[in-house]
């Protein structure tokens, strides 16, 4: 083989290897880009408009009413004779990151308080309630830097709950569990005059043949700076409360709705009055 032929062969080989290298590089880039798209789509779309919440809803529920809704005997309702936390809900987005799973180890330092102020009234001793609240609402709240971890989310909810101190304020103005009835205006005016914002107050509608609704849930709202703001009372503008009661699925005939202005409200004592 002449030197010219050898040189031509080498050139062809070099050209072939160079072309193969370029194609391999292009394929690698394509695969990396595809992988990046998949990865991005698997995480919460924090930059999407629909997940940019503007309001946080601190939701309290009354344990005795919850047990009544479920038609079960809640021994814990006697223990929790105060308003407990249902959740801290952004006004936009649900289950924003299904891959960001709840890990109870991330909130070990908060557990003593969680068990007091944020208990699972119906299923004590489990983590399922907290798991649900984190995966459905916490992963959406995490768009805010101050809530971008499981620990931050639950700690902030506890902090806001203690600052609001709803149970003490109601007692201070003589709104207490009783066999007597209240009007919606009684309860709402106490909350509005003290906090200077409008709450959302929810009841369980009366059973057939009854004419009294039962107080069940009170929502206090905050803006992104954690300043109090008005809640919206219209059902369609806030998360569906009964849908959030994932562990309370037997309550199919009764659910929370905005209390009826024209109907008296029963605020049931934790202990039965005789």
Catalytic amino acids?
Answer: 86, 133, 137
Task: Select from 241, 249, 263 the least CA-distant residue to 71.
Answer: 249
Q: Is the torsion defined by CA of 259, 261, 264, 269 positive or negative?
A: positive
Q: Are 174 and 180 in contact (CB under 8 A)?
A: no
For 179-267, strand residue ranges (E) read 181-182, 200-204, 213-222, 228-229, 256-258, 265-266
Distance CA 8, CA 14 (A): 10
Task: Select from 70, 65, 99 the least CA-distant residue to 82.
Answer: 65
CA 42 to chain CA mean position, Å: 20
Listed in sequence order, the residues at least 6 apart from 74 whose beta carbon sits closer than 8 Å to its beta carbon are 63, 64, 66, 67, 121, 122
Question: How many other CB atoms are there within 10 angstroms of residue 109's CB atom?
Answer: 11
Question: How many other CB atoms are there within 10 angstroms of residue 165's CB atom?
Answer: 12
Q: Are 185 and 264 in contact (CB under 8 A)?
A: no
Q: Are 220 and 195 in contact (CB under 8 A)?
A: yes
């Amino acid at each position: 083989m002449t030197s010219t032929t050898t040189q031509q062969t080498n050139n062809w080989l070099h050209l072939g290897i160079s072309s193969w290298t370029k194609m391999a590089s292009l394929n690698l880039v394509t695969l990396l880009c595809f992988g990046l798209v998949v990865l991005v789509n698997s995480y919460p779309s924090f930059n999407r408009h629909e997940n940019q919440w503007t309001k946080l809803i601190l939701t309290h529920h009354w344990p005795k009413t919850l047990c009544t809704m479920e038609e079960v005997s809640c021994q814990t309702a006697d223990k929790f004779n105060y308003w407990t936390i249902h959740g801290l809900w952004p006004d936009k987005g649900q289950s924003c990151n299904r891959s960001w799973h709840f890990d109870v180890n991330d909130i070990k330092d908060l557990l003593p308080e969680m068990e007091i102020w944020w208990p699972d009234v119906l299923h004590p001793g489990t983590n399922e309630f907290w798991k649900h609240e984190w995966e459905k609402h916490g992963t959406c709240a995490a768009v805010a830097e101050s809530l971008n971890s499981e620990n931050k989310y639950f700690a902030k909810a506890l902090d806001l709950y203690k600052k609001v101190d709803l149970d003490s304020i109601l007692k201070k103005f003589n709104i207490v569990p009783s066999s007597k009835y209240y009007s919606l205006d009684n309860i709402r005016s106490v909350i509005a005059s003290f906090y200077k914002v409008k709450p959302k107050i929810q009841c369980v509608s009366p059973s057939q043949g009854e004419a009294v609704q039962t107080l069940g849930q009170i929502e206090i709202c905050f803006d992104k700076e954690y300043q109090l703001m008005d809640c919206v009372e219209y059902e369609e503008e806030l998360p569906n409360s009964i849908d959030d009661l994932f562990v309370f699925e037997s309550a199919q005939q009764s659910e929370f709705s905005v209390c009826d202005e024209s109907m008296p409200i029963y605020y049931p004592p934790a202990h039965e009055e005789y």
